[in-house]
Amino acid sequence: MPTLIINTNTPGSKVPQGFLNEATNVVAEMLGKPASFVAVRVHTDQVMSFGGTQDPCATVDLMCIGKMGPDVNDQHTVTIGNFIQSKLCIPLNRLYINFYDLERHNVGWNGKTFAK
């Protein structure tokens, strides 16, 4: 159930072909989850600034049940940051990544929560 959400002022026309599939695979491999459970959403052309400028920037949210925390989020930051920098040309110092470790009973799918 990992969900990666990227908000960026990068134009949609600058998102490379296959970006969603590549992002899915990066998240699946990083978290050890099946790609069939990974959701990726990219909001391009956002009116946003970072540090007072409108140079390319992003905010990223990663939500998952488990597989996150103080012992792994540093490496997740490197993995996600490097991917976004290489694919969307957003410098590492112009993006924030927020991690949300969700509880199983707070995530629903297929008519039930993951706690059932």
Stretch (H or E) spanning 113? strand 112-113
- Whether residue 2 lies in the annotated active site: yes
Q: Which of 2, 16, 34, 56 is catalytic?
A: 2
Give the number of other CB atoms < 10 A from CB of residue 32: 9
Active site residue ranges: 2
